[in-house]
Amino acid sequence: MKAALLAIPLALAALVVGAVVIWSLSRAPRHKDAASVPSAAEAAPGDRYAQAAEDSRRLARTLVAGDNLAGLSAAVAVNGEIVWAEGFGWAIGDGKTPITPRTRFRLGALSKPFTAMAAARLHDQGRLDLDAPVQRYVPGYPAKAWPVTTRQLLGDVAGVHRIRGDNNDSMPVEHCASLDEAVALVAGDPLLSEPGTQHRYSIYGWILVSAVVAGASGEPLARFMARQVFEPLAMERTVVSETRDLDGVTALSPHSVFGKRLGVQEARRPDYSCLAGAGAFLSTPTDLVRLGSATLKPGLLKAETIAEGGRLPLTLHGAHDPIPIIYEPPAASAQLKSAVLLAALSAPGETTVLEKEATRDHTEKMLVHYGARLSVTPHGEHGRRVVLKGQPELSAASVRVPADPSSAAFPMAAALIVPGSDIVLEGVMTNPLRTGLFTTLREMGASIEMLDVRNEGGEEVADIRVRASQFVASRCRPSARPR
């Protein structure tokens, strides 16, 4: 009995020691410092982007070293042309194989835009009706209680799911010799909801989209993707994960112990054979940027396909001769108001925004700080009338960004409830439209004192002294809530 009792603390001690060893090894720095992080670029950026590339390079190295990452890869395109691509750090854990712009990464869910592009290509070619029942292209998927269309599958609103224990979409772990076998995994399941009534992320919905692409094109998904998407866009490093004898594939995955993320570890090769276009592609940031660029202007896709139905991405065509307007937002929104005021800078005459409820006024203060002619007067019981004179002569001005009052609320609340606390929060914005919490706390008995009240860049700023306080019940006034 004594031996058994003795074994318990020894086992616990061994567990603690083991956990410490695992933690230490997992947290061991992969790079000495930011300057030691290796990088490899395919080509030097042009003079126009050289400084921006250098700044990005410095940020990337700082991120890799600071977060103890094995590495990362980045690419940037301007008007569809790659202007910078560079890899940083190591592709595998031996510290000998560097990440380059040609290093492939497993895309997982980022495979879906590739599959969506394939469906769009078939739609452009008149070979895919997005609103026809999917059984036209995938006869192996039986009819359900409601018709299911490709458009609904693309929008994750088709109700095609296999739910696991935590009520999220499950991921197939079987091996599928064909796309038909992957579809068969979900073919017998009822729809989770009527199509078009509920948005819910769906892995199996995108497996079904993959089958639609194969059925509509009359050829295997990988072959159609290569001919109709990858080759036209020069995406030479993008393939399906089951491709044999691939070079330049990262072999690291997230590593955790007892639920604690501890960096990365050598990855086991997963079986993505059932995922198809839902998550089975390997690619590079350069190829991802090429795909994204193709969705922004006609070329691979028709203009009407890109703009169809007002879906993203949106294309805004500015007016050659903008005119001033009187605008009353349908709801209290500082964002809507700011968008109108910024657009009004280019319009002659006076643009007016009528607010039923006053919203934060940082944009107004910023514009005045830069020299804009802007006036604010009361409007109604709680609103404001903001008038901007268009086409002003703006001038450069220094701006010191004050501390955010929303962020200051956390240490403020902690100090108020911890006995003996007495802190000073320096340089906090005290704009009256942002201090509703401060007002309410004072009404409850909080000791909050504004010190060195001043104006910086058009904004009210103060150092705030907060001391532990005894509170009384209070009713929050409606006028304080939006602030």
- pLDDT tens readout for residues 194-217: 999 888 889 999 999 999 999 999
Of 276, 294, 312, the one marking the end of a domain is 294
Given a cut of 70, whether residue 313 has pLDDT beyond it is: no
Kindly report the average pLDDT of the chain as a whole number. Answer: 85
Return the pLDDT at 164.
Answer: 66
Residue 255 has pLDDT above 80, yes or no: no
- Whether residue 119 contacts residue 150, with contact meaning beta carbons closer than 8 Å, is answered with yes
Domain identity same for 380 and 423: no
Spatial separation of the C-alpha atoms in residues 50 and 58, rounded to whole Å: 12
Looking at the structure of the chain, the number of domains it has is 3
Q: Name the least confident of 19-33, 197-211, 269-283, 350-364.
A: 19-33
SS3 47: helix
In angstroms, the CA 257 to CA 224 distance is 41
Quote the pLDDT of residue 167.
58
Average pLDDT of span 4-17: 37
Structural domain contains residue 97:
no
Q: CA-CA distance, 415 to 394, in Å (whole number)? A: 42
Residues 445 and 373 in one domain: no
Q: Looking at the structure, do residues 411 and 371 belong to the same domain, yes or no? A: no
The number of helix segments (H) and strand segments (E) in the chain equals 13, 15
* Mean pLDDT computed over 53-73: 91
Looking at the fold, whether 215 and 341 belong to one and the same domain comes out as no
Q: What is the pLDDT of residue 457?
A: 82
Question: pLDDT value at position 314?
Answer: 58
Q: Are 168 and 144 in a shared domain?
A: yes
Q: What is the reported pLDDT for 161?
A: 86
- Report the CATH number at residue 186: 3.40.710.10
Both 157 and 249 in one domain: the answer is yes
- Domain span at residue 333 reads 326-389
State which of 357, 389, 421 marks the end of a domain.
389
Contact 104, 71 (CB under 8 A): no
Can you give the pLDDT at residue 264? 53
Q: Which residue has the higher pLDDT, 167 or 111?
A: 111
Tell me which of 294, 309, 336 is where a domain ends. 294
Q: Is residue 54 part of a domain?
A: no
Residue 121: pLDDT over 90? yes
pLDDT for residue 468 is more than 70: yes
| Phi and psi at residue 208, to the nearest 5° | -65, -35
Report residue 403's pLDDT band, with 50, 70 and 90 as the boundaries: very high
What value does the mean pLDDT take over residues 236-256?
63
- Please tell me whether residues 146 and 250 are part of one structural domain: yes
Cα 470 from Cα 423, distance rounded (Å): 16
Region of residue 380 (phi > 0: left; psi between -120 and 50: alpha; otherwise: beta): left
Task: Give the whole-number percent of the chain exceeding pLDDT 70.
Answer: 84
pLDDT mean over 89-97: 79
Burial 270-302 (b: 16+ CB within 10 A, else e): eebbbbbbbbbbbbbbbbbbbbebbbeeeebbe
Same domain, 178 and 281: yes
Percent of the chain whose pLDDT exceeds 90: 62
Please tell me whether residues 330 and 279 are part of one structural domain.
no
Residue 446 in domain: yes
pLDDT level of residue 187 (50, 70, 90 thresholds): very high
Q: What is the pLDDT of residues 142-154, one digit of tens each?
A: 999 999 999 999 9
* 23 band by pLDDT with thresholds 50, 70 and 90: very low
51 occurs within a structural domain:
no
Q: What is the pLDDT of residue 163?
A: 72
Residues 377 and 462 in one domain: no
Average pLDDT over residues 425-431: 94
Whole-prediction pTM value? Answer: 0.61
Looking at the fold, whether 379 and 428 belong to one and the same domain comes out as no
CATH number of the domain where residue 358 is located: 3.30.1370
383 assigned to some structural domain: yes
Quote the pLDDT of residue 6.
38
| Distance (Å, whole) CA 462 – CA 449 | 9
Cis? peptide before 142, omega within 30° of 0: no
Is 394 among the domain residues? no
**13 vs 406, residue with greater confidence:** 406
pLDDT, tens only, 159-175? 998 876 555 677 888 89
Is residue 82 included in any domain, yes or no? no
Query: Rounded mean pLDDT of 32-42?
Result: 90
Is the same domain home to 254 and 140? Answer: yes
pLDDT at 27: 56
* Per-residue model confidence (pLDDT) at position 452: 95
- Residue 4, pLDDT above cutoff 90: no
Q: Is the pLDDT of residue 286 over 90?
A: yes
Q: What is the pLDDT of residue 261?
A: 47
pLDDT bin (cut points 50, 70, 90) of residue 17 is very low
